[in-house]
Chain A
C-alpha cells in the first residue's frame, strides 16, 4: 500500500513537471509567426518515411542501425513501462503475464534482446564521442551543456538497461520462492545473471528486485522530465517537424507577398490598395519572433547530431558558420525570450538572435548550397533561417558587406551583378558573326 501511494505521488509530480515544460515549449514555439500549412499528402508520407521509418538516417548505415535499436528499444520497452505503471498503481506484479499467457515470455525475451542492443549501441555512441572523437561530435559549438546532455542521455540509458536485467534476474529467482512473483517464463539474457544472485536470501532479493524496479521506473519518469530540457526532444518533435518540412524544391526561397504588393504598385502594375494600418512587421528576421513557428519548432526538434555542419562547405574550410549552431542558437534564444516573458522580466529585450547569438560573419559565409538541408535526417532547414537573417541585414539595416552593396547597385543601374553596360549584353552575338 505504501509503495502504491509513493508511486502515485511520484507519477503526479512527474506529470506536473512534464506538463509545465510542455506548456513552456509550446509557448516558445508560438513566439514565432503563425504558419499556414496545406494538407498535401506528401506531408504524411514524409512523417512516415523520414520520421517513423528513419529513411534519411540510412545514409550512414551503421549509425542508423544502432540508432534504430535504441529507437525500437525505446518504443517497445515502453510497453513494459505501461505494465510498470499499472503494477505500481494496483500493487500487482507482472499484471500482463496472465493476460498474455504464452506470448508474455516471448515478449519479455524480445525486450531483453532489445535492451542488449540498446546497451551496446549506447556504449558505441559514447565511444564515438570520447574515444574515436568523431569531428562532428566534438565541434566548438558543442559547449559544456550540449556535451553533458549527450553523455547524460547515453549513460542513463545504460543504467536503465542494466536495471532491467538485474530486476528480471532477481525476479526469476523469486518466482520459485514467493507466490507474489508471477511466473514470467525463462528470460534468456537476464538468467545469465542468476548465478550472481541466487545465493542471496529471499529478503535481500526482494530488496534488490524492488530497488531495480523503482530505479527503473524513477529513471524512466526522470528521463521523461529531463527529455523536455534536452536535445533529446527529437524523439517526439521529429514527427511534427517532418510533417511541416518544406515540400518545394530545395532551391526555392520563401516568397514575401508584402514586398510583391509594394513592388507591383511601384511599377504601376497594381493600384495602391489603402491597406488598414497593420502591425509594422519586419523584413526578414532579427529575432526569434520574426521566424515562423515551424522554424522554432525545428530548433527544438534538432538533436545536435551535426550531420549538417559536417557537410557545410563553409564550415569544412574553417569559416565560422555552423548550421547546427544556427539551430542551437534559435532554440536557446527562444527559450530565453519565453523564460523572460513567463517571469515578466524584460531583460531579454536587450538582446536579439542576430548579433548576440548569430553573427553576420556566420550568415555571410553561407553559399546556400543546401548541403545542410540535404544532410538533416529530420528535415530541418537551417538555410531558410540564414536567408531570413540576411534579409533583415540587407533590407532593414542596409548592413550587407560592401561588395554586396556594390552588386546591388550594379543590378539597379545595369541590370547585371557586374558593372557592364546593359547595351553590351548582346555583344557576344556580334563577335559570333565576325568569326
Chain B
C-alpha cells in the first residue's frame, strides 16, 4: 500500500499535488472516521490521482466555533488555514466531511481562500462515471437493501442529493428512501456544534428519531457521507440494539470494498 504524502513532501520534491485531500478532525482522530479516511486514500490511489494531505499542518476549519457563535475563533482558524493552503498553491480540495466542505467552499472565499472544493461523494461519482475506478461486477452489495441518510450540510446546505445516491446505484444496491429524505431529510442531531455538547432538554434524542426512520426501511446498511452523521447513527443503532444486523457505513467504504483489483 502506498504511503500518503503531505504537501510539504511534495514541495520538498519540487512537485505539486493535483488534489488536496482535506482529512478533517474527525477523519484524523476519530477511530471510526479514520477507516473512512483510509478508504478514500485507497480509492484515490486506485484512480491514480496524485493527491496530498496537509498532515499535521491541517487545522480545524473553524466550523463548530462559527456555528456555536465564536466568530473570532472561526476566523483565526480560517485565516491560518488559508495561509497554509495559499502557501502551497492549493487549487483543488476534496473532503469527506460536509462541514469542512461547506466551510471551505462557501466561507473561505471571502477570507481570501479561493479553491475548487468538492465533497467525496461528488468525486466518487465522477471517478465511477469517468471509468477511473472500476467496481466488481455482481459485487458484495448487489441487491442488498441500503438506505441513504442525507447530511444537512451536503443536502439542504449545498443541494447535493444525487451524487451519493448515484454512487450507491453504481454498487447495484437496492436503495430504499427513508420517510424524510433529500430536501426534507431529518438531521442526525450533530450539526450546529451539537456534536460537542449534550442535547437540550426534550423528550427524545434526534439521532434516535432518525435511526428509527432508517431502521423502518428494513435496510441492512445505512449509508452516510458525513463523519458526524456516522457517529450519531451508530449510537442510534446501538441504542436500538441492532448493531448485529445493521451497519452504518460511509459511501467511500462501500466503494473501497467493491474496488476491482487492477
- B-contacting residues of A (Cβ < 8 Å)? 248-253, 255-256, 259-260, 262-264, 266-267, 269, 283-284, 311, 313-314, 316-321, 361, 364-371, 373-374, 387, 390-395, 400-401, 403-404, 406-408, 411-412, 415-418, 420, 422-429, 431-433, 435
Contacts and interface: CB of A to CB of B under 8 A. Distances in A.
Contact of A428 (B6, B28, B64, B191): B28
A417 B77 CA distance: 11
Given A317-B204, A416-B25, A390 B69 contact: yes
A263 B76 contact: yes
Contacts of A250: 156-158
22 contacts: A249-B157, A251-B102, A253-B67, A260-B111, A311-B184, A320-B200, A368-B152, A371-B184, A374-B156, A374-B183, A390-B69, A400-B68, A400-B70, A406-B196, A411-B77, A416-B29, A416-B60, A425-B55, A428-B27, A428-B34, A429-B3, A431-B34
Contacts of B189: 313, 367
B190 interface: yes
B248 interface: no
A373 B192 CA distance: 14
Contacts of B76: 263, 266-267, 412
Interface residues of B, number: 72
Interface string B72-113: 110111011001000000000000000000100111001100
Contact of A417 (B60, B80, B156, B159): B60
A430 to B, nearest CB: 9
Contact of B196 (A259, A321, A415, A417): A417
B142 to A, nearest CB: 27
A253 B157 contact: no
B23 to A, nearest CB: 8
Contacts of B73: 408, 411-412
Contacts of A412: 73, 76
A401 B70 CA distance: 12
B262 interface: no
Contact of A318 (B4, B41, B203): B203
B25 A404 contact: no
Contacts, number: 223
Interface in B38-53: 38, 41, 53
Contact of B79 (A264, A371, A394, A400): A264
B156 A267 contact: no
Contact of A408 (B41, B65, B191, B198): B65
B12 interface: no
B122 interface: no
B108 to A, nearest CB: 11
Given A267-B76, A390-B69, 18 more contacts: A251-B157, A256-B71, A260-B79, A262-B72, A263-B76, A269-B79, A367-B190, A368-B193, A387-B69, A403-B197, A404-B68, A406-B196, A416-B28, A417-B64, A422-B56, A423-B56, A425-B28, A432-B4
Contacts of B60: 411, 415-417
A13 to B, nearest CB: 47
A250 B38 CA distance: 30
Contact of B75 (A263, A364, A428): A263
Q: Which 9 A-B pairs have the closest CB atoms?
A: A251-B157, A368-B192, A394-B69, A318-B203, A390-B69, A369-B187, A318-B202, A415-B59, A252-B106
A404 B197 contact: yes
A252 B102 contact: yes
B257 interface: no
B153 interface: yes
A31 to B, nearest CB: 22
B51 to A, nearest CB: 13
Given A251-B157, A263-B79, A369 B152 contact: yes
Contacts of B62: 411
Interface centre among B3, B71, B72, B73 (most CB of A within 10 A): B71
A313 B71 contact: no
B158 A249 contact: yes
A404 B193 contact: yes
Contacts of A259: 71-72, 75
A269 B82 CA distance: 12
